[in-house]
Structure 1
Amino acid sequence: MKNVLLSGLMVLVFGLPVLGQQPTKVKIKTKSKAAAKPAAAPDWSRTYAKTIRPEELRQHLTVIASDEFLGREAGQPGQKLAADYLVKEFAALGLQGPVVGSDNPHLQHFPLTRATHAPGGYVKVGNQRYEWLDDFFSYGPMLSAFPTETVSQPVFVGFGVEQGAYSDYAGLDVQGKDVVAIMGDPQDERGRRLLKSNGRPANYWDSGLRKAALAKAKGARSIFLMTFSPTEAFRKQGAEFASSLREPVFGLTNPGPAIIDTVREDIPPGIGVYLTSQNLGLKLAGTTLPGLLEYARALGRAGKPVPPSFQPPSMTIHLPQKQEQLTTENVLGFLEGSDKKDEVLVISSHYDHLGVKNDTIYNGADDDGSGTVAVLAIAKAFAQAKAEGHGPRRSILFISMTAEEEGLFGSEYYTANPVVPLANTIANLNIDMVGRTDRKHSAKKRFVNIVGSDKLSSELHRINETANRTYTKMELDYRYNVPNEPEHIYYRSDHYNFARRKIPVIFYTTGEHEDYHKATDDVEKIEFDKLAERAQLVFHTAWELVNREKRIVVDSNKP
């Protein structure tokens, strides 16, 4: 078509040749022009990241971390006010409420139990009574597994470990039962550990928390961990922990199905975990110290679990607590994608904090008001992109979690009761405390700590690094991402409940500072320019995740 039109145009301009006459040669001088370069495609990630601005973050945080919200303690009036604010903001952005059957589709309600200590706890074996704090105490504040007097038939599970072909639980039914385990791990007669490391630290099973997590996964109601502390030394320990053990505690009323989790370095929800003195531990196992040592030697000779020659006796246990039932809420906003809308990215923070203590309000501006407003800003950027015809290919679920401070309960509940199948969840980007500079960096440093990015997906790790190299150019600090990191940061925020279900995660944080969990964590100390920059990095990483052709792969496993 183009050639025909051009020929006609030449006839009109130069006229037709006379019949029989040779056409006159006409020289046409043309001006040489360089070929025009095609216009570069707009970088929409850069365009919409710029909508995340310090002044808007400040505006939201001034409300969320105000005294009016009373520290946003889970289940309390201040948390309800904060939830209402977030619902209105999500709705104003045009985000859908995805919770079916709720009175408000943006709210995922769930029950929470709050308990306070009551004196008089004991264990009775035969005619002998053992007292709370003198002979046993819980592994940190937790809901009592025995709020009323309970008769139990314990099950002895050796060292309470399982790795490869070695399992102290083989052939044992512990569903709903109370188990007794020895602290430490099995060794041969030369004192060498029987369990091969398989990439794990040599002291992996020295952790009572890992044993508790395994016991929970096996269905146990509680685990009694037998220490070798004599009574007097054990009582001294109990006295040191007494005040913290009397603090109010929380727990999920319906914790959901147990999953195998032997890497968590925190108290596993839904199981009672108790340390015992040597005297009580032996009594619960139904043996003496020589009998227990002989059991350990026999196990070491065999190189595998052996049946014990002793049998635990029945016990009666009572750990009274005043328990009250509360209701709390995760706040959810859903942005539907286009051609890959069935795949979903979760972007999260937690909006609860510590509430009011001794008439002092703990506003939690950084923890985690900063993450909460970052999620709002990121949600707004994506909503604007969609409204202007540049929406994500995959869907995004924005979640403001509740009850994180009490034990990651909001994310525990969500991942047990997801509004989108977990199989369709491609990753979780979690933001918790990104508004300050921690003790480990200078005030001039532009940085963010990255945790968990490479533990399940090498692609996710590379995507985040590329986003930073291309756009934000901050220092990415991986100090909390190394094996055996002493502060266990990887296990201490809501991303972990996604990671333990094999969903790739990145946890963005700037770490603890001098106001961490203090009443002085206030808005005026937030560095809003840095907060905006860190939120922009999350946005850029999210943009790539939801718009790339292929879903990221799960190709790693670094507990």
Structure 2
Amino acid sequence: MKHWLFKTAICLTASSVVPLLAQTPAAQPPSAKPETYAQTVTADDLRKHLTILAADDMEGRETGTRGQKKAAEYIAGQFSALGLKAVVPGADGKTSYMQPFTLYKKTWGDFYVKSGGKQFTYLKDFLTNGLIALPQETNYETVFVNYGIVDDKFNDYVNLDVKGKAVVMLDGEPKNADGTSAVTNSAEPSRWGKPDSWRYRAQVAKDKGAAQVFIISAANADEFKRLLTERAALQQRFNRLSLKAGQENVGTVGTFMISTEMAAALLGKKAAQLTKAIEQIKSKGMSTVGKLAGTVAVKAERKDENVQTENVMGFVEGTDKKDEVVIVSSHYDHIGISPDGQINNGANDDGSGTVSVLELAQAFAKAKAEGNGPRRSMLFLTVVGEEKGLLGSEYYTDFSPVLPLANTVCDLNIDMVGRVDNLHENKSPKDNYIYVIGSDKLSSDLHRISENANSQYTQMELDYKYNDPKDPERIYYRSDHYNFAKHKIPIIFYFNGLHADYHRPTDDIEKMDFNLAEKTARLVFYTAWEVANREERLKVDSNKQ
């Protein structure tokens, strides 16, 4: 832990840092009213914490980066100053607030296509849809298959053996003279004429035994260059990370999006010749299936780059039921710096949840210091790698749970709170709602406690829109609570909805509604208080999707 950051944590404010005094465990519920401690969760303190965590010097908190580690130090410093216990065992026999682990970044080594005396490079000359792992340069014959369609009306593979070959095909579908689809004979395109048609073409080619699939993009030269630039930016922004080293479970058959110029090289033609042939196919319906052919060599090498990162957690020990634990969680990582240099501060996603966890840790620490500590233990868990695929929470649940999952009563997960979404913008009041997701999926007890806590204390609109198993956004599966739910641990996911600044540099603190964030955090507190102090452990009596 860096000394200067620890000082920052201690000096933040008297109201946001409360020393934890040693107490003798009690064997009965706290005598104090929960409002006493819920009131310590304030909009002002949430703002103060978020001003630090969502500042430019945190550099967007991308997993494995300097900014993420700086944020981890800040959170650990807060837990230490509050007097929370460090419970992560270390190799030196000491405990820590940090749970370090290694992620593996999947990167490309040599990835090229050679043909016609030219070498073409990934993201400079071509794209891939999906992954391919081909560590050794491999040679193939190429064959042209028009649009690569197999349908009731068209079959571009008739009398053509493509087994073990690289097929080259056009994107889109044949058209009638009036511009309508020749497949449907209407203005409505067939599945071969839609943006995701590459999936069908690739699958048909693979089913026919093709070894590689090259699709000639319908985009003109300038548009294709733009696509290459955009894909390169996306790859830099969303690097694939994994908890496991080694090759991914991907095949050796790739689906490549290429330009007409590159296709000409693959088919042993000049670009002008291929362009003319393509125009004849499109305007006159002439087939050149199997008549254009050449050779190609492909190498697609995948490598692992180690990325060191860490979850951060603090522990408040319970009294007579201390072996059982209630988890309050958030993710503190975000998506870092965009290729154009703009910082994605992630104030709402999920700085808002993380500062809520800090405030709730303070409230329970204060309760314990005053002899009103929870009967069950509390773990305040801030995880990393959520933006890379819920990796930090997966590491905790599936690889190294610091506290036994069998003793984990529930997880209350806070992600993206304190922003009003479009669905509530015109309501009055607009800032008195929260999406409650998953409360009833595993435990009727937890759902009832959540409803009662809100009815008695916060009186917010509990919106269950995203709790619907038919939710097209599949929000239930998109935050860290899910890694607990899959282990049959009851969860609630608190969420204020999506907005125009989601995953953009404009997700800044100025757009936060801290009164809404305060209400939400207090609802989480009241729910956690009841779960931690009730006589009976939550029943797991449901298994809803």
Specify the TM-score bucket, using the shorter chain as the normaliser: 0.5 to 0.7
Residues 419/542 of structure 1: CA separation in 2 closer, same or farther (3 Å cut): same
Match of 2:89 in 1: 100
Asked whether the equivalents of residues 439 and 514 of structure 1 are also in contact (C-alpha less than 8 Å), the reply is no
How many Å apart are 1:244 and its aligned residue?
4.0
What is the CA deviation profile of residues 342-383 of structure 1, one whole-angstrom value per residue up to 9, with x for unaligned ones?
A: 111111001111111221111111111100000000010000
Q: Distance in 1 between matches of 2:505 and 2:525?
A: 30
How many Å apart are 1:236 and its aligned residue?
6.4
Identity %: 49
Q: Distance in 1 between matches of 2:351 and 2:241?
A: 23
TM score, norm. by length of structure 1:
0.63
Residue of structure 2 aligned with 1:350, choices 331, 342, 363: 331
Residues 70/487 of structure 1: CA separation in 2 closer, same or farther (3 Å cut): same
Residue 109 (structure 1) aligned with residue 100 (structure 2): yes
Residue 146 (structure 1) aligned with residue 137 (structure 2): no
How many Å apart are 1:232 and its aligned residue?
7.7
1:406 maps to amino acid: K
Residue of structure 2 aligned with 1:421, choices 404, 416, 421: 404
Q: Distance in 2 between matches of 1:234 and 1:451?
A: 44
Match of 1:319 in 2: 300
Match of 1:430 in 2: 413
Q: Distance in 2 between matches of 1:72 and 1:389?
A: 37
Match of 1:371 in 2: 353
Asked whether the equivalents of residues 102 and 109 of structure 1 are also in contact (C-alpha less than 8 Å), the reply is no
Residue of structure 1 aligned with 2:487, choices 483, 501, 525: 501
Aligned residues: 393
Q: Distance in 2 between matches of 1:91 and 1:320?
A: 45
Asked whether the equivalents of residues 449 and 476 of structure 1 are also in contact (C-alpha less than 8 Å), the reply is yes
SS at 2:442's partner residue? coil
Residue of structure 1 aligned with 2:63, choices 35, 50, 74: 74
What is the CA deviation profile of residues 197-225 of structure 1, one whole-angstrom value per residue up to 9, with x for unaligned ones?
A: xxxxxxxxxxxxxxxxxxxxxxxxxxx99
Match of 1:227 in 2: 203
Asked whether the equivalents of residues 105 and 241 of structure 2 are also in contact (C-alpha less than 8 Å), the reply is no
SS at 1:108's partner residue? strand
How many Å apart are 1:546 and its aligned residue?
0.5
Q: Distance in 1 between matches of 2:363 and 2:132?
A: 46
Residues 344/326 of structure 1: CA separation in 2 closer, same or farther (3 Å cut): same
> RMSD over aligned Cα, in angstroms?
3.7
1:108 maps to amino acid: Q
Match of 1:386 in 2: 368
How many Å apart are 1:271 and its aligned residue?
4.0
Residue of structure 1 aligned with 2:316, choices 320, 335, 339: 335
Q: Distance in 2 between matches of 1:408 and 1:273?
A: 24
How many Å apart are 1:85 and its aligned residue?
0.5
Asked whether the equivalents of residues 31 and 372 of structure 2 are also in contact (C-alpha less than 8 Å), the reply is no
Q: Which runs of 5+ in 1 are unaligned?
A: 1-40, 124-130, 152-223, 257-268, 278-315
**Residue pairs, 1:7-86, within 5 angstroms:** 44-86=33-75
Q: Distance in 1 between matches of 2:383 and 2:515?
A: 24
Residues 274/453 of structure 1: CA separation in 2 closer, same or farther (3 Å cut): farther
2:70 maps to amino acid: L
Match of 1:472 in 2: 458
Q: Which runs of 5+ in 2 are unaligned?
A: 1-29, 115-120, 139-199, 207-212, 256-296
Residue of structure 2 aligned with 1:401, choices 383, 388, 394: 383
Q: Distance in 2 between matches of 1:234 and 1:509?
A: 42
Q: Distance in 2 between matches of 1:234 and 1:401?
A: 42
1:324 maps to amino acid: E
Match of 1:453 in 2: 439
Q: Distance in 2 between matches of 1:328 and 1:545?
A: 31
Q: Distance in 2 between matches of 1:273 and 1:475?
A: 48
**Residue pairs, 1:232-311, within 5 angstroms:** 243-244=230-231, 247-248=235-236, 249-250=238-239, 254-255=243-244, 271-272=249-250
Asked whether the equivalents of residues 252 and 270 of structure 1 are also in contact (C-alpha less than 8 Å), the reply is no
Match of 1:88 in 2: 77
SS at 2:473's partner residue? coil
SS at 2:378's partner residue? strand
2:328 maps to amino acid: I
What is the CA deviation profile of residues 16-38 of structure 1, one whole-angstrom value per residue up to 9, with x for unaligned ones?
A: xxxxxxxxxxxxxxxxxxxxxxx
Q: Distance in 2 between matches of 1:84 and 1:120?
A: 38
1:369 maps to amino acid: G
Q: Distance in 2 between matches of 1:480 and 1:512?
A: 11
